[in-house]
Amino acid sequence: MQKIFALLSQSHARVPVLLIGESGTGKNLITESIHHGLKPANEQFVTLLSRRTNQSILEKFDNLLKTNKTYTFFFERVEFLSIPMQQQLLQILNKLSLERHMFVGSIGDDPIDLISNGQLLKDLYYYFASMTIYIPPLIARKEDIMPFVNDYFSRHRERFASIIDGLSEDVIALFLQYNWTGNLKELELLLDEIASMITNEKIVTY
């Protein structure tokens, strides 16, 4: 993740960004990092979920564009939009100024496969692919597990005044051995469950 953030810091131009990675790998967190690093800053960060009805996404997008605010738009999993809706989205995007808004799209699989399977519009891929970032699954970057866990408990202590300091060595070993098919989202949900059950323990034990 440090390599990814270093790559982002090297780009100062407002160009569309494409994030490629499985569900739960942290694409939304990376997009928020892009948003907070913009200079001048945009006023609002908006996620548009492609799993909802196609028309509602475009209607929400269009309504936001009518306001005077500057936005960072995150189009999550654009391949879940129908091809006609992808064409409509591309038509809107091509008319907009990159100096005013920031546009980030994400897909969950190889773009060549998605295009050949008729799930992704080639021209929409080219629009977002000005800067492409591949986010590996958590199993391929297990060195990110403990920094994420430590950050989670730090935020939990600050928000809920809890006393949880971290994991015992045997639990750390279990976390590093597990495959995490749900990636960071699965890890976060597990930590939510652990934190909700702990009463007065400082260390999470097996």
- Give tens-digit pLDDT for 135-154: 999 999 999 999 999 999 99
Per-residue pLDDT, 88: 93
Per-residue pLDDT, 111: 96
Residue ranges and CATH numbers for the domains of the chain are 2-136 (3.40.50.300), 139-204 (1.10.8.60)
Residue range 38-67: average pLDDT?
A: 87
Question: What is d(CA 194, CA 171) in angstroms, rounded to the nearest whole number?
Answer: 12
What share of the chain has pLDDT > 90, as a percent? 73
Question: What is d(CA 205, CA 166) in angstroms, rounded to the nearest whole number?
Answer: 9
- CA distance to 96, 124, 132, per residue, from 100 (Å): 8, 20, 21
**pTM, 2 dp:** 0.84
Q: Helix (H, G, I), strand (E, B), or coil: what is residue 77?
A: coil
